[in-house]
Chains A and B, each alone.
Chain A
Amino acid sequence: MRNRFVIGLLLVFLVSVMVPGAGAQTGTIKIGVPVPLSGGNAKMGTDIVQAATMAADEQNAKGGVLGRKLEIVSFDDACDAQQAVTAAHKLVDAGVVAVAGGYCSSAAIPASAVYHDSGVAFVADASSNPKLTDQGFENVFRVIGRDDQQGPYAANFMTKNLHAKKIAIIHDNTLYAKGLATATQDALKKMMGVQVVFFDAITPGEKDFSAALTKVKSLKPDVTYFTGYYPEGGLVCKQFKDLGVSGKLMAGDANNDPTFIKECGAASTGVYITSTPLPQDQATAKAFITRYTARWKQDPGPYSALEYDSVGVVINAMQRAKSADRAAIIKALHQTNAYSGATGKITFDQKGDRKQVLYITYIIKGDKFVPTGM
């Protein structure tokens, strides 16, 4: 009896999934937003979806695009390659005219192949790994900077501003972190009188980095640069100070989060963070922040403004092309010329990367990130 019931239930499930989903609503223009909505990165994903929704709603209040309303369609990619590919197929089938979103580079890169095959524009708001646009897909664009731009910037800051001669680089063996670490190391190798004394990875998910940090301590670096994410960053910061490692501590833009300060406590004062400017520190973003905070009753995340601009850039492309056709949007995106976004002016180069990306360095004072003069 139980047998029959259980198997019958499964049949129902199988059949219900086989029936094609409700057809696309006629009339609305759909923009896809694939982001992690489950797992450890869920908060980032939610920030991104909220920003996209706000952008769409504001445009709809102005009458939409080409007389039609905009609709944001978001799917969870769980920061996983296979799920991102599945989400990509779902978005394409749902009839999106373009995709603006993504968070993890390791998920965005396989998904971009799906978008490429279907001729759908993919504007990445947060994936900074160079390979995304190096693949040469003409439908891929990026509103955030590339790790191989942040690397040289960081290298420059370390040597010119902090006068470092010996530098230790710690990454966590993820796509993003290793990419940034390698870019920094390559830039440093080109400089005279500068030496990278340590280049190794810690394991994300672990807590005790004292062994690696003790090794770093024995090498007496002037600057230690951690390029991983903020959960480990906070731990590295705390243990760095506990062990009394010499020199300054610097971290990459994935550590640009208040929890980093909370985790490291008082020891975080004086730590440097390289990053694209947070919305709070950009003149162009002030209005965006006010509206975002009013609407969602919370501060925008580090990628909200970038996502807001990603959607904005797509809307702008549709308006210039006077069409919501996928191919037309891609063409128009390439022709984006100094679009004024919350994160500044946006123009794309040949590969789809953003021209003239700005990086700054923050220093932690008390419980805040404060931009340094440079």
Chain B
Amino acid sequence: MKTRSVASRPVYLAGLTAAAVLAAIALPAFGDAYLIDVGTLVLVYVMLGLGLNIVVGFAGLLDLGYAAFFAIGAYTTAYFMVNTHMSFWLTLPIAACFTAVSGVVIGAPTLRMRSDYLAIVTLGFGEIVRIAATNFTFTGGPEGIYDIPHAALGALVIRTPRALYFLGMAFALVVLVGGYNLSTSRLGRAWLAIREDESAAQAAGINTVYFKLLAYVLGAVFAGAAGSFFAVKLTAINPSSFTFIQSVTILMAIILGGRGSLPGVILGAAVIVILPEALRAFDQVRMLAFGIGLIAMMLLRPQGLWPSRYGRIDAREVAESEAGSAAGVAAGAAAADSAAPGASS
């Protein structure tokens, strides 16, 4: 199978990219407050998706409690801005620290676990963080933290939807560039090796523990950045924004778009935000659609809508298992045919 290169990608993908860039630029100029707000929300999910992409897409670790890092970033910024009147920009490195540490705390015990145990344990961590946020007084309990001041750039206060959009865009671009550099770096290749065959990677001399931990930490920091931005956008945060459903929604974005693929993640984030808005009449079926969509995606197109260059490997996974199942059915049928009466049922 030949490697796809950018030059040989179908033209329509280039066209889609151009359309998206155009939309991103046109939005603040021509959109009304509501549309700009939706656009900003897409940017938040792009950041979150890119972060989770590092953990799930690059390193292959199924994290079901990703919203915990989102929460830690948001609460850190909120707490310091409200209680110590710190400037938004100063809270960012603090949030990065806290989320990085939490990435280590959550990542360390799970490093040698099977993927299914890892999934459940990260889910558990996600819930613990949410419950802690609901119970502690310094996080405001169930009320959360409200009256968060707006971010300010010198004399300019970032409060209008348009200004928030630009701030979000700046954040998203930094995360995007970071994500791209990571994917094409040695780090990215190490993650890919670990994802595809951990034993082989170890045999090749890759310190899997170190790289997995790094994936968690970087993913956590990206989510923390998204959280900090989220705090000054909403100006009031509470634990209900950081539930398991939130973690699943972010996961949905990257599964839909294509895990490991940067344009895929952006597409996925856009879809999961815009589709429910566009189909508000169908709000009741939104989660049902997510559920069916997840199953369908796994069955029909596990590599996502805009797969990464490594998408062919996931397709092969599915082909393999289908072949395995077919063989199983055939073997079972053959065995049943040849079974003597009275043999095992």
Q: Which residue of B lies closest to A42 (CB)?
A: B284
Interface membership of chain B positions 101-130, coded 1 if the CB is closer than 8 angstroms to chain A and 0 otherwise: 000000000000000000000000000000
Residue on A nearest B238 in the bound complex, by CB: A106
CA distance A78 to B280 in the complex (A): 11
The secondary-structure label for the interface of chain B is: helix
CB distance from B267 to the nearest CB of A (A): 7
Q: Does B63 interact with chain A (Cβ within 8 Å)?
A: no
- Indicate if the CB atoms of A173 and B27 lie closer than 8 Å: no
Are B234 and A86 touching (Cβ within 8 A)? Answer: no
Which of the four size classes fits the interface of chain B?
35 or more
Contacts of B41 in A (CB 8 A): 82, 86
Nearest Cβ on chain B to A341's Cβ, whole angstroms = 29
Which of A7, A13, A178 is within 8 Å of B141, CB to CB?
A: A178
A37 x B236 contact (CB < 8 A): no
A195 to chain B, nearest CB (A): 22
Expressed in whole angstroms, the Cα–Cα distance for A4 and B280 within the complex equals 25
Within 8 A of B (CB), among A89-124: 89-90, 92-93, 106, 109-110, 113, 117-118
Report chain B residues within 8 Å CB of A18. Answer: 23, 26-27, 31, 35
- Asked if B142 and A93 make an inter-chain contact with CB atoms under 8 angstroms apart, the answer reads no
Query: In residues 298-323 of chain B, which contact A (Cβ within 8 Å)?
Result: 301, 305-306
User: DSSP majority for the A interface?
Assistant: helix
Cα A250 to Cα B271 in complex, Å, equals 47
B270 touches A110 (CB 8 A): no
Minimum C-beta distance from B128 to chain A (A): 13
User: Is B182 among interface residues, defined by CB-CB distance under 8 A?
Assistant: no
Contact with A along B36-66 (1 / 0, CB 8 A): 0110010000000000000000000000000
Query: Please, which residues of chain B bring their CB within 8 A of the CB of A174?
Result: 142
Query: Does A323 have its Cβ within 8 Å of any Cβ on chain B?
Result: no
Please indicate the chain A residues that have their CB under 8 angstroms from the CB of B26 in the complex: 18
Q: How far is the CA of A92 from the CA of B31 in the complex (A)?
A: 14
Q: Beyond A93-B32, A109-B236, is A10–B271 a contact (Cβ under 8 Å)?
A: yes
> Which residues of B lie under 8 Å from residue A11 when comparing CB positions?
16, 19
| Interchain residue pairs with CB less than 8 A apart (27) | A10-B305, A11-B19, A13-B274, A13-B275, A17-B277, A18-B26, A20-B30, A20-B31, A80-B241, A81-B234, A82-B41, A86-B37, A86-B277, A89-B33, A89-B161, A93-B32, A93-B34, A106-B143, A106-B144, A110-B234, A113-B235, A117-B159, A129-B143, A135-B147, A173-B141, A174-B142, A201-B135
Please name 18 further chain A to chain B contacts, defined as beta carbons within 8 Å, in addition to the given A7-B306, A14-B270, A85-B37, sorted by A numbering. Answer: A2-B301, A6-B305, A10-B267, A10-B305, A13-B274, A13-B278, A14-B19, A20-B31, A37-B283, A81-B236, A82-B241, A85-B234, A92-B33, A93-B33, A117-B159, A118-B33, A129-B143, A177-B142
